[in-house]
């Protein structure tokens, strides 16, 4: 990747997760200042400390719940106050609902899954775009999933609906705001080496074997591979890529 991010400020929601950490590390390695956002201050502080390496740009953190519009507006304002701008946003916050046939799906779980995975992306973009539109534009990458618009699994109705909607929302928002100088895309990872990919009672070795057997590439994906795709989409190298949803799943949904 030829493009660096010197002088750029990057906000990553779901900041305590493995994909967020890999993405933050990749951005700071290329000169960006990164702010991790999430609900757990202890986890965020630990993640920021683990990401930062001497000689790289700053890794900061702040608390914000993506289901709360007021908190997200304050988070964007605080990023700008601390670091004098916001140039890239990676909307990564999400949860995976327990497997359940639709007829047995708890209604509260349905609403929680959509609140975090879909409304959280909408609210994050709403406030990120509001700043970027007034300050020369920017780039947003939403984290969707190969489960949704690209693939369906039994027992995942709430997650599938939310992530399919994130893919569609990304395309709609991209059309709305490219004229404002804001380029919006998405990535849709498949099974990735994160805690979310573990089945109950499963060991990492069991998980790896299960996924390898079901994946044409024969292995699980890594957070670094997802991070590399996010950086490319956020970079000037992808300046003509608008509204695209990049699937990263080893061929599972091919």
Out of 5, 27, 61, 159, which one is annotated catalytic? 159
* Separation between Cα atoms, residue 196 and residue 213, nearest integer Å: 18
DSSP for 105-161 reads: --HHHHHHHHIIIIIHHHHHHHHHHHHHHHTT-EEEEEE--SBTTTB--TTBHHHHH
Question: Number of H helices and number of E strands within the chain?
Answer: 8, 7
Torsion, Cα 16 17 20 21, to 10 degrees, reads 80
40 CB neighbour count, 10 Å cutoff: 12
Tokens standing for 89?
């946003």
Per-residue pLDDT tens over the stretch 45-83: 999 999 987 777 789 999 999 999 999 999 999 999 999
pLDDT of residue 44: 97
Residue 192 in contact with residue 250, Cβ under 8 Å? no
CA angle 10, 11, 16 (to 5 degrees): 120
184 forms beta bridges with 140
pLDDT of residue 19: 97
SS (H, E, C) 48-97: HHHHCCCCCCCEEEEECCCCCHHHHHHHHHHHHHHHCCCCEEEECCCCCC
Per-residue pLDDT tens over the stretch 150-162: 999 999 999 999 9
Q: Which residues of the chain have pLDDT under 50?
A: 1
Collapsing DSSP to helix, strand or coil, 104 comes out as helix
CATH topology of domain 9-248: Rossmann fold (3.40.50)
Q: Is 240 a catalytic residue?
A: no
Domain boundaries, the chain: 9-248
pLDDT of residue 57: 76
pLDDT of residue 146: 97
* Separation between Cα atoms, residue 47 and residue 23, nearest integer Å: 12
Q: What is the value of pTM for the model shown?
A: 0.96
pLDDT of residue 3: 67
Collapsing DSSP to helix, strand or coil, 198 comes out as coil
Residue 18 in contact with residue 223, Cβ under 8 Å? yes
9 forms beta bridges with 33
| Non-local CB neighbours of 77 within 8 Å, separated by 6+ positions | none
185 forms beta bridges with 141
């Amino acid at each position: 990747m030829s493009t660096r991010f010197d002088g750029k400020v990057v906000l990553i929601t779901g900041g305590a997760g493995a994909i967020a950490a890999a993405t933050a590390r990749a951005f700071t390695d290329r000169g960006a200042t990164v702010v991790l956002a999430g609900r757990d201050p202890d986890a965020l502080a630990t993640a920021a400390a683990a990401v930062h390496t001497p000689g790289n740009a700053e890794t900061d953190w702040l608390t914000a719940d993506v289901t709360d519009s007021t908190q997200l507006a304050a988070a964007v304002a605080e990023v700008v106050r601390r670091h004098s701008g916001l140039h890239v946003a990676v909307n990564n916050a999400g949860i995976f609902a327990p497997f359940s046939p639709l007829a047995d799906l708890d209604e509260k779980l349905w609403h929680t899954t959509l609140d975090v995975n879909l409304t959280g992306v909408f609210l994050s973009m709403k406030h990120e775009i509001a700043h970027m539109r007034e300050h020369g534009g920017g780039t947003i990458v939403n984290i969707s999933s190969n489960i949704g618009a690209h693939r369906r699994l039994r027992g995942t109705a709430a997650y599938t609906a939310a992530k399919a909607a994130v893919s569609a929302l990304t395309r709609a928002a991209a059309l709305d705001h490219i004229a404002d100088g804001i380029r919006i895309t998405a990535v849709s990872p498949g099974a990735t080496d994160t805690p979310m990919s573990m089945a109950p009672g499963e060991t990492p070795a069991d998980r790896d074997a299960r996924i390898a057997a079901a994946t044409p590439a024969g292995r699980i994906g890594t957070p670094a591979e997802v991070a590399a795709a996010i950086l490319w989409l956020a970079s000037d190298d992808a300046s003509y890529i608008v509204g695209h949803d990049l699937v990263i799943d080893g061929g599972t949904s091919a």
